[in-house]
Structure 1
Amino acid sequence: MTKPLLAAFATLLALLGGCASVPPTNVHQPMTIRPQPRADLASNNGGIFQQSASRPLFEDRRARFVGDTIIVNIVENTQASIKGNTSAEKTGAINASVTGLTGVPGKTFQGLNAQASSSNTFSGKGESGSSNVFTGTMTATVIEVLPNGNLLVSGEKQVAIGQGQEFIRVSGVVNPYQVTAANTVNSSQMADARIEYKSSGFINEAQVMGWLARFFLSFLPF
């Protein structure tokens, strides 16, 4: 194998490894952002308060600007179930006979008896249920302040354990009036919330069906 082919093969392996190490996401992008520069205020430093490193003296610490952080309490507990039962039944019968014919040439149909019956029965039953429980706490960043004052927040937490990595991602729109004095908000109070818990590593790969097997599973009609 020539050197260009070896280099191309190594690049392909690196790309595949990089794609496998970071699961794709659907949360709002970007997941972090630097604070925007603000207009300089008149310096009025004191022994404790420093204008360049602090907010106004009587302003709380809740997130307001792009780049501010906010604590998101992930509290998701949803349950759904559906059950249906349908039945239908239809029966029918017919009985005809020819006992005698008068004034008709030929006696072919005399004494003819005909009986018929039909029955149609249908029964269907379906049941489905799902349960979702997800709790945790993480910190997100304000990535945009909407014209009405709502905050678009997004964040990611990565935890590496041994040979695997866990990714917790959250994003959504937060009403600043629902942010507590401790700068926290529940995920149930976020609009357009997108919460993900994914992992990567050989343990996760062992639980995923290969792409060729998925192809035949969706392609074959039997």
Structure 2
Amino acid sequence: MSALLLALGAAQLSGCAHPNAPYPDDPFYAPIYPELPTSQVVTTGSIYNSSYRNELYSDIKAHRVGDVITVLLEEQTKAKKSASKEITKDSNMQLDPISAGGAPVTVNGKTLDLKYAEEFDMSRGSDADQSNSLDGSISVNVLQVLANGNLVIRGEKWMTINDGDEFIRITGIIRPRDISPDNTIESQRVANARIQYSGTGTFADSQKSGWLSQFFSGPLWPF
């Protein structure tokens, strides 16, 4: 038994060291900077430059690579599941006393008859109810402008609180028409969204179950 527990502990500890664990300054979420114009600048004596947007005569909506847009996180999920299973089986069999010549056949004074009855009843039930909500905001960069004008966005936010870090990450695709005049967009309008909100450190580890509790509540526990 001790050898089994040691093996299970080693397996769980090896699984804790996840190679894809989040960390600050991940190059995948590095800021995106706009490309500098490579065309030769022709001196015309005018202060207008066609390579850049004039903030006096245009809105502030993100539309180029490197632009910043604020995503308003308004996520709510609710799931409820219930299942029941019931199996009932009854079996009965009876054999009347055997008779011969109009008289019952006996063995040691007892008649030969047979009775058999079987009853099987099994019922199972399960119920699960889960709800989550996420409110906040995060400013992200435009990573790519697609051929149809849609924008690929990506970004993260890290906050250090006491002995741990909390982070929000989001990637997805948005339509320019869904961007509000104040350069914000609701998270429900982000297509193919990948939103992560979690933490690292002592506070996050205290909310996780130990490896032995995970074993007893996991699918490997046979009872």
Distance (whole Å) between structure 1 residues aligned to residue 98 and residue 212 of structure 2: 69
Q: 1:53 to 1:214 in 2, by over 3 A?
A: farther
Structure 2 residue corresponding to 1:51, chosen from 31, 49, 52: 49
Q: Determine the structure 1 residue equivalent to 2:95.
A: 96
Q: 1:213 to 1:98 in 2, by over 3 A?
A: closer
- Kindly, what percent of the aligned residue pairs are identical? 28
Q: 1:91 to 1:77 in 2, by over 3 A?
A: same
Q: How many Å apart are 1:33 and its aligned residue?
A: 1.0
The one-letter code of the counterpart of 1:135 is D
Distance (whole Å) between structure 2 residues aligned to residue 187 and residue 28 of structure 1: 23
Give TM-score, length-normalised by structure 2: 0.71
Contact 2:63 2:151 in 1 (8 A): yes
Q: 1:128 to 1:207 in 2, by over 3 A?
A: closer
Q: Determine the structure 1 residue equivalent to 2:7.
A: none
Q: How many Å apart are 1:53 and its aligned residue?
A: 8.6
Distance (whole Å) between structure 1 residues aligned to residue 83 and residue 93 of structure 2: 35
Contact 1:163 1:202 in 2 (8 A): yes
The one-letter code of the counterpart of 1:94 is M
Contact 2:96 2:113 in 1 (8 A): yes
Q: Determine the structure 2 residue equivalent to 1:160.
A: 160
Q: 1:182 aligns to what SS in structure 2?
A: coil
Q: Determine the structure 1 residue equivalent to 2:4.
A: none
Q: How many Å apart are 1:38 and its aligned residue?
A: 3.8
Q: Determine the structure 1 residue equivalent to 2:64.
A: 65
Distance (whole Å) between structure 2 residues aligned to residue 216 and residue 87 of structure 1: 28
Contact 1:30 1:143 in 2 (8 A): no
Where relative contact order (Cα < 8 A, 6+ residues apart) is larger, the structure is 1
Contact 1:80 1:129 in 2 (8 A): yes
Q: 1:214 to 1:121 in 2, by over 3 A?
A: closer
Q: How many Å apart are 1:209 and its aligned residue?
A: 5.7
**Larger mean Cα displacement after TM superposition, 67-76 or 153-162:** 153-162
Q: How many Å apart are 1:121 and its aligned residue?
A: 0.9
The Cα RMSD (Å) is 3.6
The one-letter code of the counterpart of 1:76 is E
Contact 1:151 1:175 in 2 (8 A): yes
**Larger mean Cα displacement after TM superposition, 94-103 or 155-164:** 94-103
The one-letter code of the counterpart of 1:152 is V
Distance (whole Å) between structure 2 residues aligned to residue 65 and residue 155 of structure 1: 15
**Larger mean Cα displacement after TM superposition, 58-67 or 127-136:** 58-67
The one-letter code of the counterpart of 2:112 is L
Q: 1:60 aligns to what SS in structure 2?
A: coil
The one-letter code of the counterpart of 2:87 is A
Q: 1:174 to 1:189 in 2, by over 3 A?
A: same
Long gaps (5+) in structure 1: 1-18
Determine if the alignment matches structure 1 residue 120 to structure 2 residue 132.
no
Tell me the alpha carbon deviations over residues 31-86 of structure 1, each in whole angstroms, 9 at most, x when there is no partner: 4211123465776745xxx5379514543221111101111000001101011222
Q: 1:158 to 1:52 in 2, by over 3 A?
A: farther
Contact 2:169 2:195 in 1 (8 A): yes
Q: 2:81 aligns to what SS in structure 1?
A: strand
Q: Determine the structure 1 residue equivalent to 2:8.
A: none
Tell me the alpha carbon deviations over residues 136-162 of structure 1, each in whole angstroms, 9 at most, x when there is no partner: 011000111122221110111122233
Distance (whole Å) between structure 2 residues aligned to residue 151 and residue 44 of structure 1: 35
